[in-house]
Structure 1
Amino acid sequence: MADKTAFEIPEQMRALADKSVDQAKKAFDDFMGATVKAVEKSETSAKTLQSGARDVNRQALAFLEANVAASFDFAQKLVRARSVEELSQIQQDFLKKQVEAAQSQGKDMADTIGKAASEVQQQTKK
């Protein structure tokens, strides 16, 4: 049997190693905490962005539906017109209403997009 050679680690080295492990664990814990916060923040921002996109899409569909309905109404009025003057008046009325609708819809859409962007921006500040 071979003699066992006694090998002792000096107490100071043990203390230094122990302290190094504790510091590494703390650094890792801090890193993981920051990572979890970043992931939560991005998930919240993504949900807010999805909600805003959903609002914009719904509004766009509502505008599309209104514009198509106005176009069908316009077409029905055209086929019922009895004179060139009446056709001209129907067309002028339609164009005027559509320009007004486009302006209103553009403003509403800009407001909705601005609101969604603002909400996302607020979420990223938290």
Structure 2
Amino acid sequence: MIEPKLEVPNELRDLAEKTIDQAEKAFTLFFDAASKSMAAVPGAGTEISKQALSFTEQNLKSAFEHARKLVHATDLQEAMRIQSEFLRSQFTSAGEHMRNITGEVMSAAKDLTKSKS
């Protein structure tokens, strides 16, 4: 069975790419401002918050890259392959992030327990 090509006009692909670029720039500004805000207000959960923000930023960068790849998919099979790769990488990344955050939380809890003793 032959997969039909995705007939998407180049103008629409260009518009989608520009929209993705604009959204990515907006989120970059947001993450820069959020990072500066966290640095200005140190606290017990600051490191965990910074790490969570970093993970969120990485996830969004991956999502923007995924969207760029999808914009250029030429058939449904390619789009499904791109989607499958993205989901696999996101599950792997989420597991790594959870392990890192869990380690940070456990370390902070140990430090808190030691300081109260």
User: TM-score, structure 2 length as denominator?
Assistant: 0.63
Shift of 1:87: 0.2
User: What is the alpha-carbon distance in structure 2 between the residues aligned to residue 73 and residue 110 of structure 1?
Assistant: 27
State the match for 1:92 in structure 2: 84
1:44-86 CA-to-partner distances (Å, cap 9, x unmatched) read xxxxxx6540110000000000000000001000001111111
Q: Report the number of matched residues.
A: 76
Structure 2 unaligned spans of 5+: 1-41
Question: Which structure is higher in helix share?
Answer: 1
SS across alignment from 1:82: coil
Q: CA RMSD in A?
A: 1.1
CA–CA separation in structure 2 for the residues paired with 1:56 and 1:74: 27
Equivalent of 2:55 in 55, 63, 68: 63
Gap runs ≥5 in structure 1: 1-49
Letter in 2 for 1:95: L
Letter in 1 for 2:64: F
Equivalent residue letter for 1:61? L
CA contact (8 A) 1:52 1:113 kept: no
Runs of 4+ residues over 6 Å off in structure 1: none
Distance 1:60 1:115 in 2: 15
What SS does the aligned partner of 1:61 have? helix
Q: Distance in 2 between matches of 1:86 and 1:104?
A: 27
Q: 2:66 aligns with which of 71, 74, 87?
A: 74
Residue by residue, what CA displacement relative to the aligned partner does 1:3-33 show, whole Å, maximum 9, x if unpaired? xxxxxxxxxxxxxxxxxxxxxxxxxxxxxxx
Return the structure number with greater relative CO, CA threshold 8 A, min gap 6.
1
